[in-house]
Structure 1
């Protein structure tokens, strides 16, 4: 009897994706939200089933875009991500390619970097990104709070993750392996439950949707953090002025938002809803999410009176009901920041890229 109770308690503490809930997890608020969200999920599942009608393909359209913004049911998520990102087409055009990468000759340095990256403590990259920050996160292994990635799990997803990263490093030699990719690939594996699909989705993200985010110089990542700073100047000027006054660089407060695509920053369901739109609409979704978080909490951020206080405020704004209520949160990201044309982002990228390059 006690063992059954303990089993039920353990199941309660682990969500459907395998993540252990923290000790301070607000079960009451979450259950109140999820009972409402379940109604939305059920309604969306019916609409998606009608849209797909058993087909394995869809054409991009305003209707599909609207459906994706309202959320993809989990049973269709991997398929839709594969189709709209172009990963499905690439996989079909390159049959057997993934397995050939795994069976081919390996670069020992790359393999060692991946093994080390998946196991060691704080890495050089995170020191670089968080230099000067009050706290650096312990990254001794990918998803330490996810039971599916533990060595005791059956099956253990660590080997699947290793395969995807090794294959990708040999596929994209210019990138190889960069810390942060393990989290992205890990999430893809949790959703697709398929090595090859995870590989092609990783390629869609790193090769097309987020170019230069994970290259050794991280030029795209650094550029987009500067772009966010410029967008905040335009849309939430008081916050931009606060950051400037206290000499807080954007990289100190948003680097993990960008490099982990909100993994381990926002709740799982919210991250997946963001990724639904990211695969369809591209990188500007990241700016919409970041601007919404900042705009919604402008008054709270402006209460900060010093450098550490600002950093702490940026940690706090990614917690609580606002981000847990993923359905209303996703509606806000398309209204709160206002107009955000890709032309504006591209123009800002040009000037910010030059600025980053001049800084060396």
Structure 2
């Protein structure tokens, strides 16, 4: 210390040099104590500044792209406006010429020349910028999910609706996929977004939100199970006799015959579907297999791998739906149909009264909606939007969308004054609905308030009634069987002459 402290002081006063040193040291230390708390703040501001600079750069690029796109659209608009003026002038010339009588069909009139030019323009269908003008979209055989766009053996009216649906309508959406993708990415990483708003936006197929939802709802099962639980379960189901396997095999090709992934024995989805259903039947021996489970699993496999599709089926059957929904009695399904009729009478009283007037039982159609979550009832784009909301919020979504579908076409139903016409329209009206944004608005805005407590209370009320009815029906069935057996035994003891008499 002495040497260091006395080094800057070459005078003979060693003690004074040491004091001076420590005095400088104290001053430096005091200054350091004042600066030190701000070092983290400075570092934070540097990081923030770097981030903001990056944001500014990205926003600048986006702004330039938007400006370039706007200029391009302005050019296209001017070109289209000029094209419209040209076409209008040609039609005016044509109409003017048509005022004069035509003496001979073989005579070359100015009208014929104008018509030829109009036909030629229509076939060329391009503007001066090279963009297509009113060019129809080609209808592909399958959509992006593998569903056939136009059915082969259907009513002509339904086939026409399917052709309209097959047009590339999503391309008309003004909302770009990338921006919504960023929203989903931010939500899944920060968990601080409004999930309902994101679900109401277009969900790009590349984002595996389904997997996240399934994992969230089944974590209470999976945490207590081995990591290879699905593979172990599948191995057991394959090796041991399974009473459900025969019915599963019969239903594999009936599952989604209009989807290329399940349309033939060699299709890529058939074996996956078989595995998921076998594993599920072994996990749930009380259910085994119920018609409807195959469709649920098939839709899940269009988004998820086998194991996640298996857990998706678990989520639907064991977490979301009430008990006995997929058992032989379909008790839970019957109860939900009665709950839905109550809601229909409250939310859409005019339509409910209209159905009652013409003795139309809507459950003949809606029963399948609830059992398989609208599979084969709505177009594929709308189906996956419904499933997005369902996997996030649960079974209340089925009631919302079932009511929204009827609300969407309520006026069309009210115009029909015949029970057969109403029932025919019931069979296919859902596939005529293409505007999913309007349907979302009806489901989540027009149908409010929509408390879950109300549905649960109504389920409890109707459950007791249905159980009582089933008990009475079983008693009647047993009485009938006893009487039939008694009559059969008596008949066996009769002579031929007595039987003839």
222-231 vs 328-337, which moves further: 328-337
Give the 3 Å change call, closer, same or farther, for CA 29–102 of structure 1 in structure 2: closer
Structure 1 unaligned blocks of 5 or more: 1-8, 120-140
Map of 2:443 onto structure 1 = 333
Give the 3 Å change call, closer, same or farther, for CA 351–71 of structure 1 in structure 2: farther
1:111 aligned onto 2:222:
no
Contact 2:257–2:263 at 8 Å: present in 1 too? Answer: yes
Give the 3 Å change call, closer, same or farther, for CA 335–15 of structure 1 in structure 2: same
Map of 1:349 onto structure 2 = 459
In 2, Cα distance between the equivalents of 1:246 and 1:332? 26
> C-alpha displacement at 1:308, in angstroms?
2.3
Map of 1:67 onto structure 2 = 198
1:174 aligned onto 2:252:
no
In 2, Cα distance between the equivalents of 1:268 and 1:313? 20
- The one-character-per-residue Cα deviations of 1:236-295 (angstroms, maximum 9, x if unpaired) are 112222222333333212112111211111111111111111111111111111111112
- The one-character-per-residue Cα deviations of 1:86-109 (angstroms, maximum 9, x if unpaired) are 235644542111111111153432
Deviant stretches of 4+, over 6 Å = none
Give the 3 Å change call, closer, same or farther, for CA 43–62 of structure 1 in structure 2: closer
Map of 1:319 onto structure 2 = 431
In structure 2, which of residues 124, 144, 149 is the aligned counterpart of residue 21 of structure 1?
A: 149
Give the 3 Å change call, closer, same or farther, for CA 331–43 of structure 1 in structure 2: farther
> C-alpha displacement at 1:317, in angstroms?
2.6
In 2, Cα distance between the equivalents of 1:352 and 1:40? 45
In structure 2, which of residues 256, 261, 269 is the aligned counterpart of residue 143 of structure 1?
A: 256
Map of 2:355 onto structure 1 = 243
Map of 1:199 onto structure 2 = 310
Structure 2 unaligned blocks of 5 or more: 1-136, 152-158, 471-501
Give the 3 Å change call, closer, same or farther, for CA 318–337 of structure 1 in structure 2: same
Q: How does 1:211-290 map to 2 (within 5 A)?
A: 211=322, 212-290=324-402
Paired positions, count: 320
> C-alpha displacement at 1:11, in angstroms?
8.8
> C-alpha displacement at 1:160, in angstroms?
0.7
Using CA pairs under 8 Å that are at least 6 residues apart, name the structure with larger relative contact order, 1 or 2. Answer: 1
In 2, Cα distance between the equivalents of 1:204 and 1:62? 23
- Looking at CA atoms only, which structure, 1 or 2, has the larger radius of gyration? 2
CA RMSD of aligned residues (A): 2.5
